Amino acid sequence: MSKLTTQRQAILDVINSSNRHWDADELTRSLSDAGKPIGIATVYRGLAALEAQGLIHSIQLADKKRYERADKEHHDHMVCTQCGHIEEFSHQTIEQLQQAAAHEKNFKLTGHQLVMFGLCSGCQQE
């Protein structure tokens, strides 16, 4: 198990302090702005380590990976293709049906990602 160093703790604190979905660059800047400069490579390594330990979660979007706190119940994401806003939702039945589908195909499920794309309520106005 890797160490929870000062830097990794700082990354974790930032992520846990909000419900945002952060990318590596945003985290680097946020920490620098807070007077805790950190190397971008350290951020990437830290994020990988924290995720491996289950302390944070990630979603893989088309261009980049985004990280969020793990201390919430499982959910999936809706991404607004206009403004980038990310809405969360969870649906227990969907999870169950996924399990069933995997079982049917003889697939040993280790993870999944459901992302829905569309326009958030705000962006539908225009």
Partner DNA sequence: GGCATAACGATAATCGTTATCACTGTGGTG
Partner DNA sequence: CACCACAGTGATAACGATTATCGTTATGCC
Q: Which does 118 bind (CB under 5 to 8 A by kind): a copy of itself, DNA, none?
A: a copy of itself
CB 8 within 8 A of CB 49: yes
Q: What distances in angstroms separate CA 21 from CA 24, 30, 101, 108, one per listed residue?
A: 10, 13, 29, 28
Q: Which does 32 bind (CB under 5 to 8 A by kind): DNA, a copy of itself, none?
A: none
For the CB of residue 90, give the shortest distance to a copy of itself in the complex, in Å.
Answer: 8
Contacts of 113 (CB under 8 A, 6+ apart): 59, 60, 76
CB 59 within 8 A of CB 21: yes
Q: How many CB atoms lie within 10 A of CB 123?
A: 14
Chain positions contacting DNA, by CB under 7 A: 2-3, 5-8, 23-25, 37-42, 44-46, 48-49, 63-65
User: Which two three-digit tokens encode residue 79?
Assistant: 């991404």
- Residue that the structure tokens 């225009």 belong to: 126
For the CB of residue 65, give the shortest distance to DNA in the complex, in Å.
Answer: 3
CB 19 within 8 A of CB 68: yes
Closer residue to DNA, CB minimum distance, 6 or 17: 6
Q: Which string of x and - marks every residue 51-90 that binds a copy of itself (by CB under 8 A)?
A: ---------x-x--x------------x-xx-----x-x-
Residues at the contact surface with a copy of itself, assessed by CB under 8 A: 60, 62, 65, 78, 80-81, 87, 89, 91, 93-94, 97-98, 101-102, 104-121, 124
